[in-house]
Homo-oligomer: A and B are copies of this chain.
Amino acid sequence: MAIKAKVGLVGATGYTGLELLRILAGHPDMELVRATSRSEAGKRLGELHPLVEGFALADVAICEPDYDDLASACDLVFLAVPHKTAMEAAGLLRARDVKVVDLSADFRLRDKAVYEAWYGCEHVQPGLLSEAVYGLVELYREQVRGAGLVANPGCYPTSILLGCAPALRLGLISPEGLVADSKSGATGAGANAGPGNIFCGVYDNFRAYNLGKHRHTPEIEQELSILAGRDVVVSFSPHLLPINRGILSTIYATMAKPLDADNVVEAYRDFYRNDPWVRVLPAGSLPEVRNVRGTMFCDIGLVVDPRTNRLIIVSAIDNLCRGASGQAVANANLMLGLDEAAGLRLPPLAP
């Protein structure tokens, strides 16, 4: 039996932390050796999250974050804490030369000024901004392999970027006038209870929120611009679905030239030919969030609409797994020299 890589988790209480535990519980080549939480220190992980009882990591003791200890015990640390807190933790860990996958937004934007404008706070680790690699493996696999710090992509951006990348890179669509109408399950709002995520306010309900001002907008535009080779502006509209997990994005783009549905499918499949987690559906099929639940898959459906001269792209992911913790493990796998898919060959749970 090979020696497992030792990893730590800073922030054990939230949904992304919990989802990491789910994945690490079955990971053949990684061992969780530290888990921190200021509010829950002293408990076993199994006490905090009874659903992991019966797995070895349930016995890990939750402790307060101690960066010297983390650095000496771990090959890599996952940060599953809010932005701003993540920035500081990343600085402390990188100074101690530990690899870091940050699940927050703190290192996703390459431009400090853009970060500060959208997040309303100073970025105190500008030096790390240039070191950080944007961890969307389909686009940045090689850079992730050598990275010390990976900025794990946001959930909405993951769904939109995987949906648009081939069409933009191959010039199938115009970069003008893009609309991304996205719908997300409630885990995206985090595990802190409040009026916005009380059961009776979400169940049997549906609403849009933060139209025109969601913080994932600059992240989406940054990466779409790189793909298009020019500045891209997008109407990004998030909505809250009355379900736990899943994002479905419906993306409207003007065709750059007349397209044929089967050819578009073929072009997408070719673009993702080495990517095990993108499933491009046959023309005429559309994705459903249940088909990706609990997995790393991004399912993509493509509709050519000559009446409106639009290509409509529909992409579906699990926001917690593919859009957060699973993607973080894929990045960690690459950073640690492991098989990219180790621990992530997860079939969908449906129904």
B54 pairs with A233, CB closer than 8 A: no
A197 (CB) vs chain B CBs: closest residue: B199
Is A248 at the interface (CB under 8 A from chain B)? yes
Residues of chain B within 8 A of A303, CB atoms compared: 211-212
A21 (CB) vs chain B CBs: closest residue: B347
Q: A198-B199, A200-B351, A348-B51 are in contact. Are A243 and B287 (CB under 8 A)?
A: no
Copies of this chain, complex-wide, total 4
Encoded as 1 (CB less than 8 Å from any B CB) or 0, chain A from 188 to 213 comes to 00010111011111111111110110
Q: How far apart sit A52 and B15, CA to CA, in the bound complex (Å)? A: 26
Q: How far apart sit A248 and B168, CA to CA, in the bound complex (Å)? A: 29
Partner of A233, one of B21, B202, B307: B307
Residues of chain B within 8 A of A63, CB atoms compared: none
A291 pairs with B250, CB closer than 8 A: no
Is A108 at the interface (CB under 8 A from chain B)? no
Flag the segment in A1-9, A99-107, A234-242, A263-271 that touches B. Answer: A234-242
A-B contact pairs, 5 of them (CB 8 A): A15-B200, A52-B347, A183-B239, A204-B244, A211-B286
By a beta-carbon cutoff of 8 Å, the part of chain A in contact with chain B is 15, 18, 21-22, 25-26, 50-55, 177, 179, 181, 183, 186-187, 191, 193-195, 197-209, 211-212, 233-235, 237, 239, 241-246, 248, 250, 252, 276-277, 279, 281, 285-294, 297, 301, 303, 305, 307-308, 310, 312, 314, 316, 345-351
